[in-house]
Amino acid sequence: MKTNDLSTGHMPSDNKLKRQTLAQAVEARLRTEIVHGLHEPGAMLTEPVLSTEMGVSRSPIREALLNLQRDGIVEFDDRGRTRVVSMTAADFEDLYFLRLAVEPMLAVHAAARATDSDYAAWEANVAAMEKTDSVAEISQLDIEFHSMIVETSQRPRLIAAWRSLRPSLELWLAALHRKHEQLTGRVREITIESHLELIESLRAGKSEAIRELIQDHIEGWYKWLPEMDDLA
């Protein structure tokens, strides 16, 4: 007699679930540390050292590194060693042109579909940015702001394309913010001003104005590239 899979041992074991949860926690911690510059581009990440630092076995460390490699945050060399990816000007330009290709259109669609709760969430994001002095938090809120607009567009294929860029965008944006803050001390002010302007434009709902504003916003990001004088 055919039995239900739930009763025949096909459910993940408790040990497997715990291992997956642990690997996810390790991945989240490593991702945060890399994005916020605690592991610099090109830095080696070794399983024994990470295992000791985090107090876990090497298995969840290995799984976390594989996931980060798929997101383009770390890379493996020919000998299987793990390094934080090195950022190049060419990488930055690729992200710049990809953002220009998808974000203006997504913002236009978001404006057509946004509800009062969407605007409230965007404004709450800006309010949170006004309250923090942490450049790392500003970078995270910046990415979340754009992510919320993208998701509001309800354009699945374009959203999927943007999501594929997000890990690299997080890495780049955090690095740019740290550098620009060192030089100007105005990252929060600039970001808040541009996001409030974007919310106002989305409310007005004029497609061409929204496209132009998003393009200007992304191009402003691109203009910070010369500040990253350690790029190849």
pTM: predicted TM-score of the whole model, two decimal places: 0.84
Hey, which bits of the chain come out as E strands?
Answer: 44-45, 74-76, 82-84
Quick one: 202 exposed, middle or buried, by C-beta within 10 A (0-12, 13-18, 19+)?
buried
pLDDT exceeds cutoff 70 at 19: no
Residue 156 identity: P
Residue among 59, 55, 62 nearest 76 (CA): 62
Beta bridge partners of 83: 44, 75
Summarize pLDDT for 183-205 with one digit per residue, the tens: 999 999 999 999 999 999 999 99
Band of residue 228 on the pLDDT scale cut at 50, 70, 90? low
User: CB count, 10 Å around CB of 125?
Assistant: 19
- In order of their start, the domains of the chain are 5-84 (1.10.10.10), 89-227 (1.20.120.530)
d(C-alpha 60, C-alpha 117), whole Å: 38
Tens of pLDDT, residue by residue over 41-78, are: 999 999 999 999 999 999 999 999 999 999 999 999 98
Main-chain dihedrals φ then ψ at residue 230, nearest 5 degrees: -95, 10
Cβ neighbours, 10 Å, residue 8: 9
